[in-house]
Structure formats: C-alpha cells, structure tokens
Amino acid sequence: MIHGELHQSVRQYINGRWETSATTGVSANPSDTSEVVAEYARAGRRQVGFAIRAAADAFPHWSHSTPQRRADVLDRIGTELLARRDELGLLLAREVGKTLPEAVAEATRAGQTFKFFAGEAMRGGGENMASLRAGVQVDVTREPVGVAGLITPWNSPLAVPATKIAPALAHGNSVVFKPAELVPACGWTLAEIISRAALPAGVFNLVMGSGREAGQALVDSPLVDAVSFTGSARNGERILQAAAARRAKVQLEMGGKNALVVLADADIDHAVDCAVQGAYFSNGQRCTASSRLIVEAAVHDVFVARLHQRLKTLKIGHALERGVDIGPLVDEERLARSLAWVEIAKEEGAEHVWGGEPLKRATAGHYMSPALFLARPEHRIAREEIFGPVACVLRAADYDEALALCNDTPSGLSAGICTNSLKHAMHFRRHAEVGMTMVNLPTAGVDFHVPFGGRKGSGYGPREQGRHAAEFYTTVKTGYMLA
Ligand code: NAD
C-alpha cells in the first residue's frame, strides 16, 4: 500500500499476478517536483497481449456469475475505497496536484460509484412481451459484451477509472485497464484494492504504459470487444477509426469548450462563483471546465470587475497546504502549454484582464496564476480546448446572441446559464447543443448516478454512468419461444 510520503514501485496486474516489465517510468509530485510519487513498470505490446488473453479466457466464467457474486465484489471494493478516502485523497493530491478537499471528494466518488454498480448488478432485468404470432413469447435480455479495454486520462485518476471499471464488472465483462502515464500510483492503488476483492484471475487486469504502445495494443486487439476511452479529441478520433474498423464497440468521452452564459437578470455574485469554480478550480484541467464566459452586455463590465476582484483573492499553492484554492498544474509540459495560450491570446489581440504568469512557491512546482481575457468569438482562446487556468469573457448583446455563441463550437459537453428568468432557463436547457446543461450552477461538478457525456465532438457512443452505462457494457438479445 502507498502511505503518506513514501514512494512505491508499482507493477502490472495480469491474470491474478503482479508482473514487472522490461522498462520503468516515474511519476512526480507537481507541487514539489523533488518528490517521486511512484516508480512504475511500463507494459509493452507483448505484456498487454498477455493481459488481453487472460481477460478473454476469464470472460466465459465471469459472464455467467450470479448477480449476487458481482454485487459482493463491487460492494467490497466500494467499501474499501470509502474507508480509505483520506489516504487515497492524499495520494491523488500528491500525484495530480488537486487540492486535498477536491482529491478526497474524488476518492469518495470512486467508492460511491462502485457501491452504485453493486446495486446495478442486482437490478438486471429485461422486457417480456407477446409476439405477433399466436402462442409465441418474446423477451429482450442483456448480456455482457466480452473483454472491455478501458483507457483513462490523468485528470481524474480515481473517478474516471471507477466510472468504467465498476459498470464493466457489474454487467459481467472482463477488464483490461490502462491508466494515464502521469498517474500510475492512483491506477495501481485502485487495482490493488480490486485485486483483493475475490475476483477470479484474469477478470481484472492492469497494464501501465504509453498510449501509443500499451493503449494502442488494446485498441487493435481482435480479442478486445469494447473500448471505452476518455481523453483528448485527437486521440479519441484515432481510436475510433482503429476500433470501428475491426467492429469493436467504442465509447469516447473527450474534451469540451464549455460555456457559462450570464444574463443581465442573474445574481452576479453567484454567477462569479460559478465562473470561478467552473473555469479555474482544478486549474481548468477538467473536461467540463467553462473556458468561455458569455456575458450579456448590460452586466458585462460589472461581471468582469467582480470576477477580476475574486481572482486576485485566490490562493495558489502546494496542493496539501490548508486554505489553498488551486494547486499546481499536473506537469511541466501542461504548464508550458497554458503559458503559451496566454501568449497566443495576447498576440491575437484579446484584452488581458488578469494573471497568466508562472508563480514561485516554497517548493518547486508547476504553479501559475489564473488568467482572464476579454476575447472575440474568432480568437483561438475562444475556440480551442485549453485544459488549463485560462478563460475568456465574450460579450453578447442579448440572450439569443449568447445562445448562438454558446453553440458556435465543434464540441458539446456541458453548458451553463446564470439567470433568474424561467423562460430563458427552460429555453437554454432545450436548445444548448450539449450533453449536460446547468442552470445557476458551474459547468463542472456532476453527480455519479446519472448519465455523463457530450454531443458533437465531445463524445461518441452511449453515455457513461448510472443505469445508462448498460447501453455500452451489455449487448441486447431478443429471444422467441413457442409456449
Ligand atoms: P490523452 O488523450 O493524451 O490520453 C488519454 C489516455 O489515452 C491515456 O491513458 C493515454 O495513454 C491514452 N492514449 C493516448 N494515445 C493513445 C492511442 N493511440 N491508443 C490508445 N490509447 C491512447 O488525454 P489526457 O491528456 O490524459 O487527458 C486530457 C483530455 O481528456 C482532455 O482533452 C479532456 O477534456 C479529456 N477528458 C475528458 C473527460 C470526459 O469525460 N469527457 C474527462 C476527463 C478528461
């Protein structure tokens, strides 16, 4: 187990055994880069192949296990995650740089997700109806799909894997899980808990390694029946092409350019709260981050002034320090990218309001001040996903223009509106071209028991989470019988 400040060597979990690899990598603490969090084994194609074969061999038995058996396993995993939420939150904060309260909340969510799917394992069921032919009965049932290849990003290293692993197992699939390279300790810790939950060998496997090698091996293998990917749109597109070409089931959850609309009749202080939480908490490193703040002209200046004031008060620092609002960015590369976006915005003529500078703290980490710009719709910062603490305000003449701007993007994950008008709130819920709408709430921050996902360039395939997860992790069978 990983405790406190110690770092650990973590291995692959293949066919019920812990395996080393020929090569290794390390993850470092972004709040203090002198601290190694984990050394991890990096799987190559061959090792991933062993894991896939183990999952394929384990599938027939597991797919016929009883609902009670599956529920017990998931419940046990959920119970341990919840019991260890503080310790796991600490690990997550050390590996990703989320503040400790955010990290503990994520560990809690992962535990709750396993508990939810323990219930789902028991709820199964299907439809039963009369046939068009006399004396014939028809039923529609769901069966597991097979081997699920689960590929996850670094930004929510416990919650996103839980969102995939729990429903996959609940519905009777076997799993090969590949976490992102920046978060091996979180991936391994989750796997270690799962490894002690009385699953038959091969039902759950962990492979750590690069996307190009370990991830691609999963996508390409004819033994992997379903690929669920969360990550960037660029990699998602590649994965879709490769997996669909061999007719695997594919689910993609990708980035967004989410908008928060603020109308003139909104409670402006509350709208500022929503903007700060949505755009800047977790450094904007959330797929649901609101990097576009679309504000009605009548309140534009007052909104910008109050947001500016709030940004000045935010405390940026070590993720484990009490009272810190925002920790470091996850690594040097992401920090450099966010700082480059600040330069792009300035060069394009966006008006700089605040922030966007690298910060020095007592420990060497990837710190920067949250950046705010006033932009025009054609600016790149108003069009492309940044995945960092950089947001822009766009001025809209009225609600209609605000909605048009909100929908003027190739992505469609989450969109929010701050207003006291029921008419506009209802219209927005119906006409925002996204998978999730928020009224008087930040665009980020969602429940785990209801569907999660986006439209247009933000997603592909059935939604994740809640009862809807069955759409991806099961396949439908229609049975006819002459009674
Ligand atoms: P990424 O695309 O770089 O990597 C995601 C995962 O895919 C990693 O495990 C990576 O190793 C793997 N991968 C990369 N190339 C691959 C390939 N060719 N074949 C198979 N696997 C491959 O994304 P990231 O930087 O880790 O995460 C940030 C992105 O994730 C952002 O765009 C963000 O919006 C998105 N995201 C989306 C959601 C959502 O649910 N919509 C949630 C969190 C993050």
Using one digit for the tens of pLDDT, what is the confidence trace for 452-477? 999 999 999 999 999 999 999 999 99
Can you tell me whether residue 419 is helix, strand or coil? coil
CA 85 to ligand 1 center in whole angstroms = 25
Other beta carbons within 10 Å of 233: 17
| Whether 123 contacts 70, CB under 8 Å | no
CA nearest ligand 1 atom 15, residue:
211
What is the share, in percent, of the chain residues with pLDDT greater than 90? 97
**CA-287 nearest atom, ligand 1:** 34
Q: Which residues contact 298 (CB under 8 A, 6 or more apart)?
A: 264
CA 230 to ligand 1 center in whole angstroms = 5
Cα–Cα separations (whole angstroms), residue 306 to 303, 406, 448: 5, 22, 32
At 480, list the tokens. Answer: 């006819």
**Which pLDDT does position 388 carry in this prediction?**
98
CA 232 to ligand 1 center in whole angstroms = 4
Task: Write out pLDDT tens, residues 163-209.
Answer: 999 999 999 999 999 999 999 999 999 999 999 999 999 999 999 99
- Ligand 1 contact, 251 CB (< 6 A): no
Nearest to 44 by CA among 14, 6, 74, 9: 14
Rg, Å, the chain Cα set: 23
Q: Is 423 exposed, middle or buried (0-12, 13-18, 19+ CB in 10 A)?
A: exposed
Task: Write out pLDDT tens, residues 34-43.
Answer: 999 999 999 9
Host H or E run for residue 2: none
Predicted structure pTM score: 0.97
- Ligand 1 contact, 387 CB (< 6 A): yes
**CA-182 nearest atom, ligand 1:** 26
CA 235 to ligand 1 center in whole angstroms = 7
Mean pLDDT over residues 404-419, rounded?
98
pLDDT bin (cut points 50, 70, 90) of residue 3 is very low
- Looking at every residue in the chain, the average pLDDT score rounds to 96
Residue 5 has pLDDT above 60, yes or no: no
- Ligand 1 contact, 258 CB (< 6 A): no
- Ligand 1 contact, 21 CB (< 6 A): no
| Whether 443 contacts 391, CB under 8 Å | no
Other beta carbons within 10 Å of 312: 11
- Ligand 1 contact, 474 CB (< 6 A): no
- Ligand 1 contact, 386 CB (< 6 A): no
C-alpha to C-alpha distance for 25 and 72, rounded to whole angstroms: 35
C-alpha to C-alpha distance for 338 and 59, rounded to whole angstroms: 43
- Ligand 1 contact, 235 CB (< 6 A): yes
Residue 153 has pLDDT above 60, yes or no: yes
Catalytic residues: 287
Residue 1 has pLDDT above 50, yes or no: no
CA nearest ligand 1 atom 10, residue:
211
Residue 4 has pLDDT above 70, yes or no: no
C-alpha to C-alpha distance for 66 and 74, rounded to whole angstroms: 13
Mean pLDDT over residues 253-266, rounded?
97
Task: Write out pLDDT tens, residues 359-389.
Answer: 999 999 999 999 999 999 999 999 999 999 9
Residue 6 has pLDDT above 70, yes or no: no
Which residues of 204-324 form beta strands (DSSP E)?
A: 204-206, 226-230, 249-253, 258-262, 290-296
**CA-413 nearest atom, ligand 1:** 41
Phi, psi dihedral angles at 394 (to 5 degrees): -115, 135
Residue among 235, 252, 332 to mutate when testing ligand 1 (max atoms within 8 A of CB) = 235
Which residues of 55-153 form beta strands (DSSP E)?
A: 127-130, 136-144, 147-151
- Ligand 1 contact, 240 CB (< 6 A): no
- Ligand 1 contact, 215 CB (< 6 A): yes
C-alpha to C-alpha distance for 201 and 463, rounded to whole angstroms: 29
C-alpha to C-alpha distance for 414 and 441, rounded to whole angstroms: 11
Q: Which residues contact 263 (CB under 8 A, 6 or more apart)?
A: 296, 299, 399, 402, 417, 418, 419, 421, 424
- Ligand 1 contact, 254 CB (< 6 A): yes
The upper half-sphere exposure of residue 283, i.e. CA atoms within 13 Å in the direction of its Cβ, equals 33
At 373, list the tokens. Answer: 């710009």
CA nearest ligand 1 atom 42, residue:
287
CA 222 to ligand 1 center in whole angstroms = 22
CA 79 to ligand 1 center in whole angstroms = 28
Mean pLDDT over residues 432-444, rounded?
98
Place of tokens 């992102």: 180
CA nearest ligand 1 atom 23, residue:
231
**CA-154 nearest atom, ligand 1:** 26
